[in-house]
Chains A and B, each alone.
Chain A
Amino acid sequence: MAVIKNAALGIAVFFKKLWADKQGRVGLIIVGLLSVCAVFAPLIAPYDPYDVTMRDDKGLSPSLSHLLGTSITTGQDIFSMLIYGTRVSLSVGLITGVAIAFLGSMLGVCAGYIGGLCDFLLMRVVDIMIVIPTLPLTILITNVFGKSYVVIVLVFVLFGWTGLARTVRSQVLQIKNADYVKAAELSGASRFFIMIHHILPAVSNLVVMSTALTCAGIMIAEAGLSFLGLGNPTAISWGKMLADAQSGGGVLFGQWWTILAPGIGIFLSVFSFMRIGLAIEGIIDPRMKKGSGMKTLIRHMQGRELDELLASMEDGYEQST
């Protein structure tokens, strides 16, 4: 129970810190807005984006009735598609990110803490996974097992945990040799106890940071795969919207908004998760941020303040009597 309570407390403190950070707040706000869009998409979207029966309204320019115009090939409302697109992007990104975080940190901790054969085997597997080109592999697997986001998520998770496992492993190796862990071992704490109480908390920030960054990376990759037409053929995703705009001649007919809209959607979701990731990085390691403002500090320090400082540092000789 105490562990759960501590964890809950830790999460609360963590979000507070994240909110206090300017970068983090921007990220949190955007992610919040996108989540609202994803959950309440049917309420927000003015049209049914799956409705392909409006053949008369093909390729309309933005207007009051269609905020971002309609798609070139089938006449769906682009604004509604944009809102629904958050669902695919966020769910693929989040599910994959969390799964990778879980798998990667577990395997990393195992390799680092248990060591021995377990470590050896896991690291050899990592060596192999890293060599295989991910995008061609994903294409091959969707070809064999069918085009669907489930397959895509599975491939991403199966081949995406390696980087995180490596970082976690090296972090664990450092902590393992720290004096406080040695002391706990000597005082008879079980391996499991040490893992839960010392090692997991120490790597948790790192894992959360890399999860945010992984989510961002996965969203870009998902958009790329959808763009290539490897996602669910029926789902509405930003990548597929871009592909439709391109193949439908959005470029050719000068309808740049059909490209810009999904592009901005991808950008916002990736950007917000990256902001959060970088903010956490700043919280973990403040050195990354500090020190950039020194010169401005000096430039601000002028006039009376500087004179006073220098005067207070004045020193002289006392005349000997």
Chain B
Amino acid sequence: MSKALEIENLKVAFPTHRGVIRAVEGVSLNIDKGECLALVGESGCGKSVTSLTAMKLLDDTAIVRADKHIICGEDVLGFSDKQMEALRGRRVSMIFQDALSALDPVMTVGRQLDEVFIRHLRLSKKEARERSVAALAAVGIPEPGARYRSFPHELSGGMRQRVLIAMAFACEPELIIADEPTTALDVTIQAQILELLKKMQQQSGTALLFISHDLSVVSNMADRIAVMYSGKIAEQAQRDELIARPLHPYTRGLLSAVIGINDKKDSFIHIKGTLPDPADKPHGCYFCPRCSEAGEVCFVRQPLLKERVSGHYVRCHYLRCHRSERGEENE
């Protein structure tokens, strides 16, 4: 099965006056066609940087290196700006978090949508307009003809997010990267948007890289989940496997914070502290200062990502004992 996105050993660093910020350290991701991979982590852990780098959209103040970077079968590592531009919006597109600031405030949403069709399908203005209205209708916007002429600030938050989704799906791309698409919305609207996103994804068979800090949002959408912590993948598995048998203490902390996924009464784990300063990361395991189960080795040596069960990767020294404990409990 061919992949929609393959990234291997991605490293991103930002030199600043305060020191080098190590945003992403050796992240590898791959997404099958039509699959939905969720990338979960606290804000500041490097997920948004990862998504921008996947599109090659970071500006040149960043140092970016990767061993492999393949989008929809195209090796884009050596791609020029021009080649990337042809790819963006056509075969891979993006949905952003805050739709109000992600839309040009002085241009009607319709014209902004037109731009995609004109750029990639070489349509005339009139044809693009028809397609745009249809696209607005497809994402469930009432009166698409009138909304076409609206400015972003005239729409509600949910409507704006729908516009962004319409824009992302406009040319039926093979991969869509959604960077916290529902975070800025009310819970009820959030559910509607997730529903819409799922429906659109299934209809068009698009692969989706869904980025979120919220495991509960992700658990309905994703086929696979990757948990990111301080620039590294902490754990990665099929959704059901990860939710049923989280191996990394961080994942367990995240899961226990979600009501309804894990019913055990005694299992609420409070993750104390905050993410390490990306310019000054701790020795050993990055999670050890916050980990309640850390042992001596955690403060000395970085654990590597290790495949425990088939398809279930985890980065932790003390894997075996957690596993056996949890295993006994489950049986």
Residues of chain A at the chain B interface (Cβ within 8 Å): 290, 293-295, 297-298, 300-301, 306, 309-310, 313-318, 320
Contact = CB atoms under 8 A, between A and B. Distances in A.
Leading 6 A-B pairs by shortest Cβ distance: A315-B26, A318-B304, A313-B25, A294-B61, A318-B306, A297-B15
B9 A314 contact: yes
Contacts of B65: 310
Contacts of A295: 60-61
Interface string B284-318: 00000000000000000001111110000100000
Interface of B: 9, 11, 13, 15-17, 20, 22, 25-27, 60-61, 63, 65, 231-232, 303-308, 313
Given A295-B60, A297-B16, A309-B20, A317 B11 contact: no
Given A297-B17, A301-B15, A315-B25, 18 more contacts: A294-B15, A295-B61, A297-B15, A298-B60, A300-B15, A306-B63, A309-B63, A310-B65, A314-B9, A314-B11, A314-B25, A314-B26, A315-B9, A315-B26, A315-B27, A317-B307, A318-B305, A320-B306
Given A309-B13, A310-B65, A317 B60 contact: no
A264 B65 CA distance: 52
Give the residue among B22, B63, B232, B307 with the most A Cβ atoms within 10 A: B63
A309 B9 CA distance: 14
Nearest to A299: B15
B224 to A, nearest CB: 16
Contacts of A313: 11, 13, 22, 25-26, 231
B305 A290 contact: no
Nearest to B24: A313
Contacts of B63: 298, 301, 306, 309-310
A310 B306 CA distance: 21
A298 B15 contact: yes
A258 B61 CA distance: 49
Nearest to A297: B15
Contacts of A316: 9, 26, 304-305
24 contacts: A290-B17, A293-B17, A294-B15, A295-B60, A295-B61, A297-B15, A298-B15, A301-B20, A301-B63, A309-B13, A309-B20, A309-B63, A310-B11, A313-B11, A313-B231, A314-B25, A315-B25, A315-B26, A315-B27, A316-B26, A317-B305, A317-B306, A320-B306, A320-B308
A314 B22 CA distance: 11
A116 B313 CA distance: 65
Nearest to B61: A294
A26 B308 CA distance: 64
Nearest to B59: A294
Contacts of B20: 301, 309
Contacts of B15: 294, 297-298, 300-301
A302 to B, nearest CB: 10
Contact of B307 (A294, A300, A306, A320): A320
Contacts of A318: 303-306
Contacts, number: 61
A297 B65 CA distance: 17
Contact of B232 (A293, A306, A315): A315
Most buried by B among A306, A314, A315: A315
Contacts of B60: 295, 298
A301 B62 CA distance: 11
Nearest to A306: B63
Contacts of A310: 11, 13, 63, 65
A290 B331 CA distance: 58
Contact of A298 (B11, B61, B232, B313): B61
A165 B190 CA distance: 46
Contacts of A298: 15, 60-61, 63
A290 B61 CA distance: 13
A294 B59 CA distance: 11
A297 B17 CA distance: 8
A315 B17 contact: no
Contacts of A301: 15, 20, 63
Contacts of B17: 290, 293, 297
Contacts of B308: 320
Contacts of B232: 315
Contacts of B305: 315-318
B32 to A, nearest CB: 19
A74 B285 CA distance: 84
A138 B161 CA distance: 57
A267 B328 CA distance: 83
Nearest to B306: A318
A85 B308 CA distance: 84
Given A290-B17, A297-B16, A317 B61 contact: no
Nearest to A301: B15
A312 B26 CA distance: 10
Contacts of B9: 314-316
Nearest to B232: A315
B20 to A, nearest CB: 6
B90 to A, nearest CB: 30
A318 B61 CA distance: 32
A57 to B, nearest CB: 57
A160 B303 CA distance: 66
Nearest to A291: B61
A294 B61 CA distance: 6
A279 to B, nearest CB: 18
A290 B18 CA distance: 11
Nearest to B65: A310
B134 to A, nearest CB: 42
B304 to A, nearest CB: 4
A289 to B, nearest CB: 10
A290 B16 CA distance: 10
A314 B15 CA distance: 17
Nearest to A296: B15
A38 to B, nearest CB: 39
